[in-house]
A and B are shown apart, each in its own frame.
Chain A
Amino acid sequence: MTDTEKQTDTSSIELLSFRVGGQDYSVDIMSVREIRGAAKATSLPHAPPFVKGVINLRGTVLPILDLSARLGLKTGDDTERNVIIVVDIGGRTAGLMVDAVSDILAIPTEEMQAPPDLAADHAQTFVSSLTIVDGRMIRILDLDAVMPPQGEEAA
């Protein structure tokens, strides 16, 4: 019993998939803290355009990133993107604003492939690997690349 569990653990990875800017993306479910509805963000002055602002998440200040803007995809109306995925990486917490959350997928690691080199594709630096589920291509986000570097504004 435990052996089989271990096997699935090592050989597959669970992903939370979502849609953003008309494309399917996903993140490792272990980095997801929670999913919540969009709230009005307080905008930060002098912030890059993809930083929507900050919201109050039960008493902590949570920065919200507009993922479609971050990935350079077309941004639809604000009303459409109504889900915030709260992710935790490297000790920092941030909210990613996406169109909709789709599914939780368990993908065997061998089915993951590195993205091809496409110099023209600006967004490819944010994708760590690709996989196919039911004929749809799922892009797995490199969260470290998505997060704005800490202290970017400190200069």
Chain B
Amino acid sequence: MSDPMAEIRASFFIECEELLESLQDGLNLMDNGDSDSETINVVFRAVHSIKGGAGAFGLDDLVHFAHRFETAMDEVRAGRFVPDTEAIRVFFSCADLLGDLIRAARDGHVIPPEKTSPILDLLDKLVGCEEEEDEEELEFTPAALSFDLGDTAGLPDIPGLPSLEGVPDLAETDLDSDPKLVAAKGFDITFKPETALYTSGNEPLYLLRALRDLGDLEVECLTSQIPALDALDPDLGHLSWKLRIITEEPIESVREVFEFVDGLCTLDITPLATPVDFSAPDDDGPSIADLPNEFNTPTSPSEVPAPDNSAVSTTEPGEPNKEITKESPKQTTAKETPKPASNKASSAPTQPRATVRVDLERIDRLVNLVGELVINQAMLSQSVTEAGIAPNSPVSTGLEEFLQLTRDIQESVMMIRAQPIKSLFQRMGRIVRESSSSVGKEVRLHTAGENTEVDKTVIERLADPLTHMIRNAVDHGLETPEKREAAGKPREGRVTMTAQHRSGRILIEIADDGAGINRERVREKAIEKGLITAEMQLNDADIDGLLFMPGFSTASEISNLSGRGVGMDVVKSSIQSLGGRITITSVEGEGTTFSISLPLTLAVLDGMVVRVGGETLVVPLNAILETLTLTDDDLKALGPETHVVQIRGGFIPLLDLGAELGYRPPQDSYVGGIVLLIGQEDGNRAALAVDAIEDQRQVVIKGLEGSYGRVPGIAAATILGDGQIALILDPTDLVSQASGKTKKRNLPVQLAG
């Protein structure tokens, strides 16, 4: 059925994503001046692997493109072409296009050749290599392996490949050419696929063809291990090949051909010039001369006849596998020895540890279940308390352990969902390249903290807002190269993306070293658009905040990148829907930084359960700096309707949570009341008066947006131990919208939010 095939296809595309990632990594390294051969090898191998996989699935467009790309990379690898910045730019575009092709192939779309050919021409021009005939050859379809003794059809008619004539002929040619071979550079290869090689969908024919690309190839198929027809298990592979390749390529290139079948075959590669230690392979002359007899013995018609060397031919037909297993460890080690250690190291980052691919839906289900478990555990704790069971009783201690376990499970599950933000950053690299070239600016993207782990859902939902912000930075933030030079800056603009964990949240910053926000122009624009009136007094932060107003765009001309009306307000609302916040800092002439602060997970948070005006609320613990009981001395009236709290020499505005949420009118006196000191990202603090603190616990976040809509000052809801719903406060939102108890603050505009 198509199902297993679809699965293999799917996993191929997943692998492609990983390969693209390491391709990008390698290119980035090259871009930063790393010309190490290993880096280039990584890039080459990624392209090569994509090409190989694509070939197996008959994705011709992809193969075609990857092949040209690979050829170019091969030139670089061979040292015949030293890429400059311009070339690396082209490589980047190629990598982007390759990604497009892969996605197109996955989704069954077709990318017209007009899109790929310009860049390919550019590539060829740069590298200066012509690559036509090889592509044609790639279109060979594999022929069924069915030939009789002495048949010439060992492989379909491939030009440049010595045809498999009758065996004596072959022996002759071999012997004839031997002296020449020894003089020439090349390798003798014994290649014995194990059954696993076939079951994993590999095809030796392709390998042989790939080898042929490297140079003149002579192929012999060794059939001696084929058992008698009645003993033949059609599911097992019995063939092995002896190959001789005349090539200038290093041994690594030959190994690379077999890279995919590493571990699935017994492989021995010996340079022609060096003496051979192994008893089994490579002693062509005499063994082949011995063979004619064997070839007159009919073997299974479905198998390939070829001469064999003496060591293997002694094997009894009945027990071929035994021989193989005996042989394979020895040859594997032999194979490893000449292989440079650096080769291993380079492939390490792409496949570091054993991993399992799991459907995201299953993880989500697990997350939901754990959420229910947390709620259930809270309910159980509550009933135990209500039942009046002593705190040191076995039930209570058992419950304690249960609580600990629940938390561990919950954290582990969250870690499953966490992923490095790297993939997102790489996508942004492409956005930078594309947008900078379309507006004619020179931009370099710097990233830091790519391994910061973020919830997968967050990563997915961040893609659009970040894209928008990157485009903004390139389009509006950075000046043109001429202006930059005039301002004494390097021509090349710089966009920096960083990610880091900070106090239980993730902080993502996008900074450019452009001109900064022209506040005067922002102000004029806002007045012109009727967002503010001319007489309003705005401080710098208020003006920066105007950028987030719907319908605001500073670009005086609408470019095709940004300025289409959907602007920073959309960015802001999508960040907010993730429970995040966005702030701007900008220094005129030096640049602008957007900071996004996001919660670590979207599922659970540690909160303090408080009571206000008969309602239960949860305040996120990471927002609370401290709690205190107000004394008469702490509390200072300021103006007719507001108070400030004096704490350690500072004054902090007092907000009555009950009044702010409309649960009750402001109280007569707050002396003796409990306040929570709330700290915000921007360093501002506020004191929230509550009636009582009830508990501190982990709560499961249940979104309100889906069922009701956004509520100002409220981040989400949760279910408490008694089954009641409690609202989770969004302290920053609450404070920014607070009325300051009852006195109306003279905020000029209610900023979008």
* Residues of chain B lying within 8 A (CB to CB) of residue A153: 708-712
Bits for B684-716, please: 1 = Cβ < 8 Å to A, else 0. Answer: 000000000000000000111011111111100
Cα distance A55–B719 when bound, in Å? 9
- Beta-carbon contact of B710 and A42 below 8 Å: no
Contacts A44-B714, A54-B717, A56-B723 given; indicate if A61 touches B661 (C-beta within 8 A). no
Also in contact, A93 and B707, with CB within 8 A (given A42-B615, A46-B662, A61-B702): yes
How many chain B residues touch A (CB < 8 A): the figure is 29
Residue count of chain A within 8 Å CB distance of chain B: 27
Q: A54-B707, A59-B719, A60-B707 are in contact. Are A45 and B725 (CB under 8 A)?
A: no
Evaluate contact between A45 and B714: CB separation under 8 angstroms.
yes
Output the nearest chain A residue to B753 by Cβ-Cβ distance: A155
Tell me the minimal C-beta distance from B219 to chain A in angstroms: 63
A109 within 8 A of B: no
Chain A 15-59 against B: per-residue CB contact (8 Å), 1 yes, 0 no? Answer: 000000000000000000000000010111111000101111001
B716 closest partner in A (C-beta): A61
Query: Could you tell me which residues of chain A, from 85 to 136, have a CB within 8 Å of some CB in chain B?
Result: 92-94
Q: Which of B694-753 contact A (CB under 8 A)?
A: 702-704, 706-714, 717, 719, 723-727, 752
Check if B573 is an interface residue, CB within 8 A of chain A: yes
State how many angstroms separate the Cβ of A36 from the closest Cβ of chain B.
13
In contact, B711 and A56 (Cβ under 8 angstroms) = no
Complex contacts, B710 vs chain A, CB 8 Å: 151, 153-154
A79 within 8 A of B: no
CB distance from B288 to the nearest CB of A (A): 75
B50: Cβ under 8 A from any A Cβ: no
Nearest 6 pairs of A and B residues by beta carbon: A45-B661, A63-B708, A42-B725, A154-B710, A153-B709, A61-B717
Asked whether A94 and B707 contact (CB < 8 A) given A40-B724, A45-B713, the answer is yes
Contacts of A148 in B (CB 8 A): 709
Q: Give me 18 other A-B pairs in contact (C-beta within 8 A), A42-B727, A154-B709 excluded.
A: A42-B717, A44-B711, A46-B661, A46-B711, A54-B708, A54-B725, A56-B723, A56-B725, A60-B702, A60-B707, A61-B702, A61-B703, A61-B717, A94-B707, A150-B709, A153-B709, A153-B710, A153-B712
Closest beta carbon of chain A to B612's beta carbon, Å: 10
Q: Say yes or no for B608: interface residue by CB 8 A criterion.
A: no
**B724–A42 CB distance below 8 A:** yes
Say yes or no: is A5 at the interface (Cβ < 8 Å to chain B): no
Q: Which residues of B contact A (CB under 8 A)?
A: 372, 375, 573, 615-616, 660-663, 702-704, 706-714, 717, 719, 723-727, 752
Closest CB in chain B relative to A135 CB, distance in Å: 39
Q: Which of A45, A92, A153, A154 has the most CB of B within 10 A?
A: A45
Provide the residues of chain B in CB contact with A62, threshold 8 Å. 707
Q: How far is the CA of A23 from the CA of B372 in the complex (A)?
A: 40
Would you call the interface of chain B mostly helix, strand, loop, or mixed? loop
Say which residue of B616, B663, B726 sits within 8 Å of A45 (CB atoms): B663
Query: Across the interface, which residues of B come within 8 angstroms of A43, CB to CB?
Result: 615, 663
Q: Pick the contact of A56: B616, B709, B724 (CB < 8 A).
A: B724
Whether A61 lies near B662 (C-beta < 8 A) is: no
A-B contact pairs, 27 of them (CB 8 A): A42-B615, A42-B725, A42-B727, A43-B663, A44-B714, A45-B713, A46-B661, A46-B713, A47-B711, A51-B708, A54-B704, A55-B725, A56-B719, A56-B724, A56-B725, A59-B372, A59-B375, A61-B703, A61-B717, A61-B725, A150-B709, A153-B708, A153-B709, A153-B710, A153-B711, A154-B709, A154-B710
Q: Which A residue's beta carbon lies closest to that of B712?
A: A46
Q: Given the interface contacts A56-B719, A56-B724, does A45 sit within 8 Å of B709 by beta carbon?
A: no
